[in-house]
Amino acid sequence: MKKISIGIFFATACQANMEETSLVEQDVEHNTVQIQDVVDAPESQTSSVLSLPNQLQCASSPVHYDYTGVPLVIRFDIQNVYGQAYVSFTMGALHSDISYENIGSAQVQVPVVLSEESIAIEIPAGAATVEGYGAVRQGLLADRVSIHLSPEGNGDYLGILQSFAFFDVPIHCWEPDMPRVFHYNHETGICEDEDGIEGFNPAYPIKVRETGDAHCMDLQDWLLAGAIFSAHPWFSNDSNLVWDLRGARLEGAELYNANLVDSDFSGSDLRGLLFENSRLQGLSDDHTLLPEDCVAIDQEINCQR
């Protein structure tokens, strides 16, 4: 039986406008007609241009080191204001335990260029309102700045910030209200989604550094050095990282010159964690797997090397 699909329009003699559209399947041999419901166009025929989220929080890799060796980073928020990007910039140390004066800040509202694969924001020189006379004015916004982002899924975006002062800097942006997919189950000691499927949340170094959220993340073979994740450089171990490490895996990770304190290690797999000039202190539970020579007392660990 040969069939073809055609579109027909229903109209009354008193009304010229179209009232309803249906897909009709016609049987050529038997001259019969079957009316089918209208279906959505295939995904390939629909627009897939990205949209700018209501809010993004963003941070960069280190872009500059001050005279003491402390690394500085760029932080900025992006808000969707009637389809345009309202961007607020600051600069500072990797963590807030070191404060800087006269770093400066800036705000600007500019159009957004959206495509199927990226979000682009262009900030012309002199367009931003800058407060202070520090690194933001004299470095970051001394000339045109470009921000390019690509979605990674579940509210995460990776990209590049381009500026005359710092060239191409890796950045990470995330939607702050996006819920986690996997959560630690205190009864079973595993990470699972709402359907009970085991898994780990995506792990991004910049986001973990900024939020302290490593909940149900696979951090195997990560280098957790103070100069990368903290405000203090190189051989100082004054850096205190307060992280949510429930259900995290740190097998083979290396912790140097930084302290994970007041952290939650419930369900963490710390076997094989290499740490030196560092301290582990925080909560544990019956599912926590500890590194060698480290013990838990009353559901708390406090180990130092």
Q: What tens digit of pLDDT does each residue of 204-263 get?
A: 999 998 999 999 999 998 887 655 565 444 444 556 788 999 999 998 898 887 788 999
> At residue 34, does pLDDT exceed 50?
no
pTM for the model stands at: 0.78
Pairing between strand 279-283 and 300-304? Answer: antiparallel
pLDDT at 192: 97
Given the candidates 2.160.20, 2.40.128, 3.30.70, 3.40.140, the CATH classification of the domain at 55-174 is 2.40.128
pLDDT at 33: 34
Can you tell me whether residue 68 is helix, strand or coil? coil
pLDDT at 293: 85
> At residue 35, does pLDDT exceed 60?
no
Q: What tens digit of pLDDT does each residue of 201-220 get?
A: 999 999 998 999 999 999 99
